[in-house]
Amino acid sequence: MFIAEAEALYGRESGGTGELSRHRTLALFTESIVSLMSSNTLSAAMIDLLSLMGQTFPQAGPAVYITMTGSQSQAYSVLDGAEGGFAEAKRVLGNHSFSYTPVKVGGHPPLVMNRLDLPLMETAGARVVLSINSGIHDGMFREWVKILTPAVGKFINHEILLHMAYRDGLTGLLNYRAFEEMIRAELDRARRYSTTFSVMMADIDWFKKINDGFGHQIGDLVLKTLADRLNRCVRKSDRVFRYGGEEFAILLPHTVIGKARNLAERLRCTIEKTEFVAGLHITLSIGISEYRNGLSHSDLIKQADKGLYLAKERGRNRVEVMKGGA
């Protein structure tokens, strides 16, 4: 469909060098669409697209900026981050926190003051902007955008659907489905590279009393605040999940049991000192397990759960580590 639109825009007219130019333009547009639609992930699609643009028009210094509701903003750029790339990302993305992915195309082009921002998508849920150094190539990029817009829109809408499928609607955390897939992937990596990782299961103590005494609306606010605090306390490489109800899971890549316990104690102390809505204070019980040869992902979850139940039995507001086999 998108390639047909490109052909319609640059129809096969006769005319010597003009026809040759149109064919080259169509080939360029077609290559970008094929590259975009054949990529398996949004990140791979943007890197491929920026690579093609940067190699075709090196002085354009192209960058793509993406903002999606509920997700961290993303910047993909052929510009050197320290030499204006980060500043440009902040200019376009504003106050949103963002990840910065440099795309190398045989060196970094210079950043010029006159940048041209071309919207690729702008909806209530997502905004995608292509930014370039303005120059003699502006017309080409404007036509390029006309072709790219529907393809990028389809890709982003697919990402939004995936985001909804793997996110908890209340807290915005990754959900049980995401946890199941990510722990399996982490287990495969640990087996392949002979590394380790830890799993943490955390549960709010006496949460039913909060719902019964203050109502489910207050309970929901407690869950959302806790989700935010957990995300702030863990490392960037760690992943926090809402496992179900008032139970949370945390995946800790490349983390031995001792370091996992230290992090769990910091989390427990932080939450204990945090004042939640209506002046409420809550505590967490936490169980931890570490991957060892021969364990399955379900073994790890069962071990961490055993630690969690043991923490509850021993008085709550504590951390228990489970070692050994399943």
List residues with catalytic annotation.
Answer: 246
Cβ atoms 288, 267 nearer than 8 A: no
Helices marked H in 83-215:
85-93, 138-165, 176-193, 207-214
Helices marked H in 106-137:
none
Nearest alpha carbon to residue 317 among 280, 275, 264, 259:
264
Q: How far apart are CA 71 and CA 51, in angstroms?
A: 24
For tokens 């190539």, name the residue. 137
The pairs formed by 190-194 with CB atoms below 8 angstroms and a separation of 24 or more are 190/291, 191/293
Q: Quote the Cα angle for 257-193-249, to 5°.
A: 40
Q: Measured in Å, how far apart are the chain's first and last C-alpha atoms?
A: 53
Nearest alpha carbon to residue 156 among 187, 183, 117, 125:
125
Counting Cβ atoms within 10 Å, is residue 39 exposed (0-12), middle (13-18) or buried (19+)? middle
In angstroms, what is the C-alpha Rg of the chain?
25
